Structure 1
Amino acid sequence: LNIASDCRDVAGVHSYSVDDLKKVVQANAEKRQSEVLKAKKLINAEVSKFKLWQSSQGAVPYLAALQSMAESIRQTETDKMGKKLRGLHEKERQAVDKLTRHIIDKIFEP
């Protein structure tokens, strides 16, 4: 369908040529390509993080065993201090217990 080029002169009429549309298509394609590059960078960064995380998973059982051993030592040492802690009120003993547990948790916190 051919439309006279002077139709643009009519008030309220918007006329777009194929060339106008090609420019819009080209601009949109460039924007999409830019977003594709950003997405690829993001994906590559996340894949790297995942690979690092995945490689660390072999250490999880050893860290769990080490944490269990640390908790056992904490309990043993707290029990040894039992006589000294008897002079404390229950609330204070609980605070000491909570503190020592918190220390162990902080050591093994990821």
Structure 2
Amino acid sequence: MPKFLIQATYTPEGTRGLLAEGASGRRAAVEQVVSGLGGTVEAMYFAFGQDDLVIILDFPDPVSMAAASLTVKASGALHTRATPLLTVEEIDDAARRQVAFRAPGA
């Protein structure tokens, strides 16, 4: 199952919701969205600094991740970045593939 790293920053409205609901309430909401799309939450951490929230998710496909991302972003409660995560084996496979490429100006 494809794995994704989610980094999120709450808006003021989202922070007020977190304060009212608590972290466990937000965890339950994330798990509901992810499981509803056939995925699982591997890890979820709150942080401070540039990101307020870091999550690692497994989804059946990238379209499921996109559906979750669009819905969350439309809420206006947080800004997110999703990064696809690849295993060591997947990178080894990619490194073995032949790619025809010419650098600009070469």
Q: Which has the higher contact order (CA 8 A, sep 6+)?
A: 2
Q: Which one has the bigger strand percentage?
A: 2
Fold match (TM-score > 0.5): no
Using the size of structure 1 for normalisation, the TM-score is 0.27
Using the size of structure 2 for normalisation, the TM-score is 0.28
Q: Which one has the bigger helix percentage?
A: 1
